[in-house]
Amino acid sequence: EVQLVESGGVVVQPGGSLRLSCAASGFTFDDYTMHWVRQAPGKGLEWVSLISWDGGSTYYADSVKGRFTISRDNSKNSLYLQMNSLRTEDTALYYCAKSGGDSGSYYDYWGQGTLVTVSS
Amino acid sequence: SYVLTQPPSVSVAPGKTARITCGGNNIGSKSVHWYQQKPGQAPVLVIYYDSDRPSGIPERFSGSNSGNTATLTISRVEAGDEADYYCQVWDSSSDHRGVFGTGTKVTVL
């Protein structure tokens, strides 16, 4: 059974930093592209970032480019999101998602999310 | 950047058919995926590559995509289908990024 478990969400002040983690199990982690997707309270889904199976390619939404860094440790079956220079608009539930299919263009499994609140 | 537009809400009586549209420039040239999200839960994939269903998703869920509109159709709607639905594409035209639609709240009357 595929499981994705996010952690690391807390309340942080504007300008602060945070590192989210996602522990994966139930599939061959290093075969798949992984994503972070977020959802602000009461709002829709927003794609945040992608990392290829080997970490060689990464992409970011314009809203987080230059502030967030995605990474992975295939030896630990873990995905990470380093979040710097946090803004109030970064407040959201952050989901880790596994890519599906050969193209990796959709998300076939999601974690339950970890809540990041940016507030003074 | 690529934009996907959905109606904010759709209401449907039990047993009837709900159609949720997702509009985008020449979306028919892209692969469209659909997610169902119930309150307090993570999204669930219900349609991928325009019209394929993951295992465990009822046949009542179907999808189509042509021109500037993709459509998710839910036949014989049940109370348990009440949820938010999001379309999604992968946009690699200028930069690589995921794009979600604005979301549609389906209410079962």
Contact between A45 and B42 using a beta-carbon 8 Å cutoff: no
Q: Least CA distance to A46: which residue of chain B?
A: B100
Instruction: Name residues of chain A where pLDDT drops below 50.
Output: none
State the pLDDT at residue B27. 96
Rounded to the nearest integer, the mean pLDDT of chain B is 96
Contact between B88 and A106 using a beta-carbon 8 Å cutoff: yes
Task: Provide the H-helix boundaries in chain B.
Answer: none
Count how many pairs of residues, chain A against chain B, have C-beta atoms within 8 Å. Answer: 64
pLDDT in tens, A75-107: 999 999 999 999 999 999 999 999 997 777 899
State the pLDDT at residue B96. 85
Over residues B65-77, the mean pLDDT reads: 98
State the pLDDT at residue A103. 75
Q: Least CA distance to A35: which residue of chain B?
A: B98
Contact between B96 and A45 using a beta-carbon 8 Å cutoff: no
- Angle B36-B42-B44 from CA coordinates, rounded to 5°: 35
Residue A3 contacts B, CB cutoff 8 Å:
no
What is the C-alpha to C-alpha distance for residues A92 and A117, in angstroms, rounded to an integer? 7
State the pLDDT at residue B92. 84
Indicate the Cα dihedral angle A52, B97, A59, A25, nearest 10°. Answer: -40
pLDDT in tens, B72-88: 999 999 999 999 999 99
Strand, helix or coil at A90? helix
Q: Which of B32, B33, B72, B92 to mutate to test the interface with A (most CBs of A within 10 A)?
A: B33
Contact between B45 and A108 using a beta-carbon 8 Å cutoff: yes
Q: Nearest CA to A71 among A90, A52, A45?
A: A52
pLDDT in tens, B9-62: 999 999 999 999 999 999 999 999 999 999 999 999 999 999 999 999 999 999
Name every chain A residue with its beta carbon within 8 A of the beta carbon of B34.
Answer: none
Residue A2 contacts B, CB cutoff 8 Å:
no
Q: What is the nearest CA distance from A104 to chain B, expressed in angstroms?
A: 9
pLDDT at B100 over 90: yes
Contact between B42 and A110 using a beta-carbon 8 Å cutoff: yes
